[in-house]
Structure 1
């Protein structure tokens, strides 16, 4: 029965659950920033821009290579970068609950992780100071609305680039490549993303790639969707679901938090992560891609490799470098 998995959890898992619940109760505004130049606290876009409807790029209608982004361009700041400079802070949508990616370090109370380091690099490039960032905790299913409504300048939150999403937001080049995989208890009969899921309760985040994959093929599973993928971990620890479908990069961090869990089977998708921005902010896309070019430069001594070794190498060993960037002009 489902509940027996929860009953077997040790003190480590319950400690993690308590921490997760405490984090989930935290306020969405993590680092308060000053009122923006456009009025209101930290608003990312002027009211006239927020009121206008989004413009869908022509390439999105004929999506063949969603990872292809705008080529970096030097020169004067465009309107989006200038908006950030006028405000004096970058507003970034992030996760605060994904171990190794975006989480609050209990040792110092600071937001830490691979995505957080990348956001700070963007702030350094645009504003000359890596600490001039207002971080907003954004649920998985609110990432795109946050950009469309102008609440944030960028989203750096393990967000997969795909053909559906490039109709709604603009992406940088890919900065990491993951894949959907199954996370389950070590004593579970579930073997992979296959028919061993039949009759099992499976959790995934609403608006995630995992939800799309389960919609296409559930393998007979009962599917539960929640606002954040970490909510699935809590339910798995409590024995309320039998497995979680999420990116293996995130699941590896969860397995590191709770040794009673493991990744099963193999990744069954390719998930390139990109920094997401408003469709109108083409100059900011180019600027972020310029940051990523510098971030990748230097081979094994690059800032990207240093971040990988610090945050991800233990749970995701064997990666020798970042994805090769693709450009469309």
Structure 2
């Protein structure tokens, strides 16, 4: 990020409801690795029927087409076994996880506590609790979007939990495996409420500067069919919001789940058009750590079970429901391997 961008961080607006005390996004760019403590979410009787329907429809579907990538979200069946990869983590006594510290609601640095918190972080804690018996036995390493898979390949982290979309290209080229899906999202445009002629992912983008993160699925979609947009790439998605506030780009193209968080940060922006892709977030791990993938899938099975009282729904109500209503856990899809 250049000097103008850094100055622009201070321009990000207040947080509105449940966001008082936040002095801007600059606080999220502090240290790169901390251990944080979780806050329990209150229980409410909402979304019971939707959750039960999603889970009962196909809680354990089988997909035989993973190798052809017809179903990239198909993961290895769950298992509670402690294989080589899980034992490595147990011996170390810490789960090392690549996360974001700039994605509001998902993984961001709380300005009061200094801890990294969010929906993704609550899932990390559940994994640590299952493997190590301690939700706080985590070393967090912040990684930019374009470096997520490199960190996994090099062994710098055990996994990345950072709104990572599951897709064929990543399975085939990045040497990673994914857990079962834990959230459904899709690419959508974020624009200023005032003065923007962009109405959707269509011809209104012609000649406009559209910002997305390098290495993201947003970049892939824009390169496939950008409707004449001029693509601007940045290391991290939040940089796009800053550039749009500075007038350097006309729109942000990112997952609607992330864009909703950015719109919450800056109420002068909003989402336009429809979601143009369907994507699933998964926990990314090294392709050789199959026992760890299976273990994480068991954690997810437990994490999403229990209807409106499930840990997933508690985290969803705490972090996302106000800005992304109507969500339920995606049904898991497993390969037969």
Q: TM-score range by the shorter chain?
A: 0.7 to 0.9
* Counterpart in the other structure of 1:245: 253
Q: What does the per-residue CA deviation read over 1:24-59, in whole Å, with 9 as the maximum and x for residues that have no partner?
A: 4x3433449xxxxxxxxxxxxxxxxxxxxxxxxx97
Match 2:191 to one of 179, 184, 191: 184
Match 2:167 to one of 158, 162, 177: 162
- Asked whether the 8 Å contact 2:14–2:265 carries over to 1, the reply is no
Match 2:313 to one of 305, 311, 314: 305
4+ long deviations beyond 2 Å: 11-24, 26-32, 58-61
- Asked whether the 8 Å contact 1:102–1:116 carries over to 2, the reply is yes
Flag the 1:139–1:190 CA change in 2: closer, same or farther, 3 A. same
* Counterpart in the other structure of 1:133: 138
* Counterpart in the other structure of 2:32: 28
* Counterpart in the other structure of 1:325: 332
Once the two structures are superposed, the pairs formed by residues 191-202 of structure 1 within 5 Å of their partners are 191-202=199-210
* Counterpart in the other structure of 1:39: none
The number of equivalent residue pairs is 293
- Comparing 281-290 with 98-107, which one deviates more in the overlay? 98-107
Match 1:216 to one of 191, 213, 224: 224
* Counterpart in the other structure of 2:147: 142
* Counterpart in the other structure of 2:53: none
Once the two structures are superposed, the pairs formed by residues 58-207 of structure 1 within 5 Å of their partners are 62-75=68-81, 77-167=82-172, 168-187=175-194, 188-207=196-215
* Counterpart in the other structure of 1:13: 12
C-alpha separation between the residues in 2 aligned to 1:18 and 1:216?
38
- Asked whether the 8 Å contact 1:113–1:311 carries over to 2, the reply is yes
* Counterpart in the other structure of 1:36: none
* Counterpart in the other structure of 1:277: 285
- DSSP 3-state at the match of 1:164: helix
- Asked whether the 8 Å contact 1:60–1:166 carries over to 2, the reply is no
TM-fit CA distance, 1:300: 1.1
C-alpha separation between the residues in 2 aligned to 1:311 and 1:14?
19
Q: What does the per-residue CA deviation read over 1:197-227, in whole Å, with 9 as the maximum and x for residues that have no partner?
A: 1111110000000000000011111111011
TM-fit CA distance, 1:247: 0.2
C-alpha separation between the residues in 1 aligned to 2:184 and 2:268?
26
- Asked whether the 8 Å contact 1:60–1:163 carries over to 2, the reply is no
RMSD: 2.1
Q: What does the per-residue CA deviation read over 1:243-295, in whole Å, with 9 as the maximum and x for residues that have no partner?
A: 00000000000000100000000100011000000000000000000000000
- DSSP 3-state at the match of 1:327: strand
- DSSP 3-state at the match of 2:295: helix
- DSSP 3-state at the match of 1:266: coil
C-alpha separation between the residues in 2 aligned to 1:191 and 1:177?
23
- Asked whether the 8 Å contact 2:13–2:266 carries over to 1, the reply is no
TM-fit CA distance, 1:74: 3.0
Unaligned runs of at least 5 residues, structure 2: 16-21, 37-63
- Asked whether the 8 Å contact 2:27–2:111 carries over to 1, the reply is no
- DSSP 3-state at the match of 2:168: coil
C-alpha separation between the residues in 2 aligned to 1:119 and 1:93?
10
TM-score (norm 1): 0.85
- DSSP 3-state at the match of 1:13: coil
TM-score (norm 2): 0.83
